[in-house]
Each structure stands twice: as C-alpha cells, then as structure tokens.
Amino acid sequence: MASAGHGNGLINGVVSNKHTATISEVDEFCNALGGNRPIHSILIANNGMAAVKFIRSVRSWAYETFGTEKAILLVAMATPEDMRINAEHIRIADQFVEVPGGTNNNNYANVQLILEIAEITHVDAVWPGWGHASENPELPDALKAKGIVFLGPPAVSMGALGDKIGSSLIAQAANVPTLPWSGSHVKIPPESSLITIPDEIYRAACVYTTEEAIASCQVVGYPAMIKASWGGGGKGIRKVHNDDEVRALFKQVQGEVPGSPIFITKVASQSRHLEVQLICDQHQKIIEEGPITVAPPETVKELEQAARRLAISVNYVGAAIVEYLYSMETGEYYFLELNPRLQVEHPVTEWIAEINLPAAQVAVGMGIPLWQIPEIRRFYGMEHGGGNDAWRKTSVLATPFDFDKAQSTKSKGHCVAVRVTSEDPDDGFKPTGGKVQELSFKSKPNVWAYFSVKSGGGIHEFSDSQFAANIISFNTRHVFAFGESRALEIANMVLGLKEIQIRGEIRTNVDYTINLLNVNFYHDDKVMKFCKTG
C-alpha cells in the first residue's frame, strides 16, 4: 500500500473517513427506517464505468435524502494505468488509494488487497460493482470477518447461485422451469439445504467424458450446448448438432476453462432472452422489472414469482439478475442463470421504475427493510411521504406490506441501452486503446449517457472495451413490438448516438451501430436482437 489521495493531490498515511456533515443524520436515517448499521463511507472495489455510475448514483441519492451529495464518503482504488489516463472515477471520488497496476488480479479482483485497503481506510462498506471480484465468495466472507459490510449477497448465496450447474439444480428444487439438461433427472431431497448441494448430487448433473456427453445430448435432443459451468464471455460453450460434433468439440470446451465442471443443455430455438431485476433485503424479497413486451402479463408475473422463489431458497440479499429463455412458439419459459451482482444495464430498470439501485444497495447494507425505503414504497403504490425528507415521514407512517400480493405501478415508459465500446468494427471488433483528445455528449430529456473517460483521458491496455452506456427513454408504451413506437425508438437512439463526439487514438462502434439501426429500421425481429430491456 503506497499512499492515499484526496482530491487531485497525494497524501501519505491512512485516509481519514471522518466526514464533517450529516454523520448524525445518516445515523438517524438508518435507525428511523429500522436499520442496524449506518454506512458513512464506502470503498469502491471497481473502476471505469461501474465506479463512475456508483459515485454519481450515491451522490444523487445523498443530495435528495440529506441535502448534501457528500453525506457518504466514497473512496476509489487507483492503478497507475488509471491515473495515467486521468480516469474519471479517480477524479470524482472523495479520496483514492493507489494500488498495483497490471491485470485485475493485482488490484480490482485481488480479495486480500481489497480487504487491506478497506481496513486501512476504515470504511464501513465495500461495493464490488460488476466483474472483477464481484462474484468471488471469498470477498464477502473476508469482509464479514473484519466487521465490514459487503454491498452484495452473502458468500453462501453467491456460491450457490453463481454456479450454472448448482443454480439449475436449485431452480428445479424451487419449482422454476429449466430446459432439458444433463441434470434434469437429478433431485435434491426436500430435507436438504439448497445453499450447500451435496457433492454426489452435483456430480450427477455433470458429464466428464466425451461418451457421457454424447449420451446426454441424445437424451436432451439435438441441437444441444456443451457448457462449462465456470465459463463466460464466449469461453467454454459450443453448440453441437450430432455425435460427431460432440467428439470434435468436447475437449475444446474442457480446454478453454480448465478444471470447470461440464454440463449439457438443449438449445432453445426461437427464444427471447428475458431478465428480471431482483433486489432482496435481509427481511423479505421484491422484484423490479423493466417492461417485457414479448410475453403476456401472466407470464411476466410467473417470471417474477419464480425469481422470488429462487432468491428465498438461498436467503439471497442484495441485487441480482435472473435470466430466462422464453419460447416464442410455445409460450414456455426456462431458467437460464442468475448473476449475483448488479447488472451493467441496470440504468434501464432505474429509468423505468424510478428506483436508484445503487442507493437501494446501500440502504439494504444498512439493514433497512425494503418496505421502509421510500422509492420502493412508491414503486408499489404505497404511501411514501414525498419530498426530500420522505424518509422521515416514512419512518413514522409506513407499515409493512406483502410483496407477493402488492402490485407494482406501471412503468413510466420503455428504455433501450446501447453499449459504446472502444473496438474497431473494420478490424473484427478488435479492442483499441490510447488517448482521447475530445469526448463530448449533450444530454436531452429523452437521451442520457455516462462515460468512464473524459477529454484528455484515455483507454489503457487493461481497460474493459466498454467505456460508456447510452440510455434512451421512451414515454410511449409501445416500444419494440408495436409499429408506431419503432420510428421513435430508432430515431431517438440514432440521434443520441450522433451527438457523441469522440476524437483520439481509439476507435468505437458508434458509426457501426448507427448504420446497423438504420439498416434494420423496418425489421422489428432484427432490431430486437440489438435492444435489451432491463
């Protein structure tokens, strides 16, 4: 640990987390709403867009709640590479701590380092974001042992649902439909804990040899997928159509993710990818979901209930995304996986539901029940006080309500997200890096964007190629599936992308995406492939 910084200068020694304003008010907020652990300072164990979004979300919530955006101290981690490019998350944080550079196992994914920084800076909580260490069960366990709040799920819940095979077994036990797969025949005894699946049951859902894979594919039916449970980002997954392809590709899957358990699942043709935004407190569970237009309302309700059952089965706490495949032919849905963290595209849900999800994570971290949080109450049509001091009124007037029976309010519109990446479409979408001389974007009432870099900054060799997210909101109710909304949807997105001015050494997918949207302007089924609901 080299040094700690404040503002744009460096200081030696330990970072002080003593904030001059609103300490007593944060305490009052926590206690009044039924919490048990006020949070005055947070270490952000992430960088780039994730860190920028969290800082801005917490600052906005703090200003609305306490009258000052500085109510909670936000401490950033800073690698030499991020400092060299004048990374935005370092610039806007209250304080920063220098950490080793290089790949993320040296910094943002290094559990021991994160723990040491959290102790040195005396923060109350750690926010992991997405990627890096966000899905490593060792981090919440290590922080808990030191009395530091992890703004995410407990290690046991993360481990249980973060594994593709384990989560599918848990889904089956919780009566959540799954596609035919190599573990379809495996049953967890009713008396067993779903948090810890016995090894013999887990192994029964896996395939270990090429011949076992072939036999499983013949049972589930071709086409099928060979998948590594620890895979992701295109690694450890192959589609096969016959026995010969299994023989040719099974070893490739094993080699791409060494040591990972392997399973087989049937391919769901003519399916759409639907997601449910889930946030759970330490007391009860609720669902937050963006508008799904390709499935009927009764199916959407079933998706919510299934996600709730899944979370309850492992005592989940925090934010998560439950992913499903929905068959357009049969109307059936199947559990795909659960991401035990906040999703990159969570601003889509925020815009639709008008709930600040990072702020909700902080409140849950304080031990506050969801039924006490004003934004959550408003989402479910309950009295919430209103005004900047809504929490004071809520603490006095609010009563618990049953989330299973409560009906959420209609979303204020529809939202689509486009990822802006530093990739070169003319060179096979190869990631690019370098200086950014100019980056400008003008927000509009229906177009909003946030970036992890600014003019004079850049993208270094260890950066994620995604450095921005464009979020477009539509007040019409007929997005994606209905004709008159298609023109507005595409026009707003294209106009928003054209407002982005980027000049420098990097290449981006902006022009490519504009052309893609224009080419597919009148083809709803094709445009849907590039639009994502929250």
Residue 531, pLDDT score: 36
Give the other-Cβ count within 10 Å of 198's Cβ: 12
Measured between alpha carbons, how far is 75 from 113 in angstroms, rounded to an integer? Answer: 14
Q: Residue 450 forms beta bridges with which residues?
A: 469
Report the pLDDT value the prediction gives residue 488, as an integer from 0 to 100. 65
Q: Residue 247 pLDDT more than 90?
A: yes
The C-alpha atoms of residue 408 and residue 382 are separated, in whole angstroms, by 9
pLDDT band at residue 490 under the 50/70/90 scheme: low
Find, among 347, 404, 413, 354, the residue nearest to 378 by Cα. Answer: 354
Distance CA 330, CA 394 (A): 44
The answer on pLDDT for 469 being more than 60 is: no
Of 69-83, 250-264, 425-439, 481-495, which gets the smallest average pLDDT? 481-495
* Torsional class of 160: left (φ above 0), alpha (ψ -120 to 50), beta (otherwise): alpha
pLDDT band at 509 (very low <50, low <70, confident <90, very high): confident
Q: Say what the pLDDT of residue 234 is.
A: 77
Is residue 492 within a helix (H) or strand (E), and if so which, with residue range?
helix 483-498
> What is the pLDDT confidence band of residue 442, given thresholds at 50, 70 and 90?
low
3-state per-residue secondary structure call for 318-387: EEEEEEEEEECCCCCEEEEEEECCCCCCHHHHHHHHCCCHHHHHHHHHCCCCHHHCHHHHHHCCCCCCCC
What whole-number distance in Å separates Cα of residue 454 and Cα of residue 524?
35
Who has greater pLDDT, 356 or 500?
356
Gap between the Cα atoms of 19 and 27, Å rounded: 13
Tokens of 251: 């070893």
Across the strands, what pairs with 423? 431
Q: What are phi and psi of 286, to 5 degrees?
A: -140, 165
- Res 29: pLDDT: 94
The per-residue pLDDT for 268 is 87
Residue 525: per-residue pLDDT: 41
pTM for this predicted structure: 0.79
Q: Which residues contact 519 (CB under 8 A, 6 or more apart)?
A: none
Binned at pLDDT 50, 70 and 90, residue 19 comes out as: low
Poorest-confidence range of 67-71, 193-197, 503-507? 503-507
Average pLDDT on 478-486 reads 32
Q: Please name every residue paired with 273 in a beta bridge, in sequence order, or none if there are none.
A: 325
d(CA 421, CA 433): 11
Query: Strand, helix or coil at 227?
Result: strand
Assign 527 a pLDDT band (cuts: 50, 70, 90): very low
Lowest-confidence region among 111-120, 192-201, 288-297: 288-297
Residue with tokens 């995604």: 466
pLDDT at residue 199 is higher than 80:
yes
- How many Cα atoms are found within 13 Å in the side-chain-facing hemisphere of 472? 21
Pairing verdict, β 125-127 and 149-150: parallel
Q: How does pLDDT run across 254-301, given as a tens digit for each residue?
A: 999 999 999 999 998 888 888 888 888 887 543 333 466 778 888 988
pLDDT band at 207 (very low <50, low <70, confident <90, very high): very high
Average pLDDT for 366-386: 88
Nearest to 118 by CA among 102, 140, 137: 140
pLDDT digits (tens, 9 = 90+) for 408-426: 887 776 676 777 777 777 7
pLDDT band at 496 (very low <50, low <70, confident <90, very high): confident
What is residue 484's three-state secondary structure?
A: helix
Per-residue pLDDT for 18 more than 70? Answer: no
Least confident of 345-349, 462-466, 495-499, 527-531: 527-531
- Mean model confidence pLDDT for the chain: 81
- The pLDDT value recorded for residue 9 is 36
CA distance 96 to 106: 17
pLDDT for the residue numbered 88: 87
Note whether 22 and 102 are within 8 A (CB).
Answer: no
CA distance 324 to 328: 13
Residue 462: pLDDT over 70? no
Query: What percent of the chain is predicted at pLDDT more than 70?
Result: 80
Task: Give residue 408's pLDDT.
Answer: 83
Tell me the two tokens of residue 425: 């479409």
CA proximity to 471, closest of 534, 417, 419: 417
For residue 251, the model assigns a pLDDT of 95
| Pairwise CA distance, residues 83 & 411, whole Å | 40
d(CA 84, CA 471): 28
pLDDT at position 215 is: 97
pLDDT category of residue 534 using cuts at 50, 70 and 90: very low
- What pLDDT is recorded for position 335? 93
- Euclidean distance between CA atoms 246 and 74, whole angstroms: 50
Order of strands across the sheet that contains 224-232: 235-240, 224-232, 262-266
Mean per-residue pLDDT, 81-110:
90
Residue 500 confidence (pLDDT) above 90: no
| Secondary structure (3-state) at 8 | coil
- pLDDT of residue 390 exceeding 50, the answer is yes
Q: Lowest-pLDDT range, 61-75, 127-141, 516-530? A: 516-530
Q: Which residue has the higher pLDDT, 339 or 147?
A: 147
pLDDT tens digits along 60-69:
999 999 989 9
- Top pLDDT among 340 and 482 is at 340
Residues 6+ apart with CB under 8 A from 464: 48, 49, 131
Closest C-alpha among 208, 211, 209 to residue 165: 208
Q: Which residues are catalytic?
A: 341
Phi, psi of 209 (to 5 degrees): -130, 165
Residue matched to tokens 């992991």: 128
Tokens of 470: 């464009």
Average pLDDT over residues 184-194: 84
Mean of pLDDT values over 317-333: 90
Neighbours of 476 (CB within 10 A): 12
The one-letter amino acid code at 365 reads G
* CB neighbours of residue 428 within 10 Å: 7
pLDDT band at 529 (very low <50, low <70, confident <90, very high): very low
d(CA 375, CA 367): 16
pLDDT reading at 454 higher than 80 = no
The confidence band for 372, taking pLDDT boundaries of 50, 70 and 90, is very high
The reported pLDDT for the residue numbered 521 is 47
Question: 83 with 62: CB under 8 angstroms?
Answer: no
| Other Cβ atoms closer than 10 A to 191 | 5
Q: Using an 8 Å Cβ cutoff, are 188 and 166 in contact?
A: no
Which token pair is 304? 């919510």
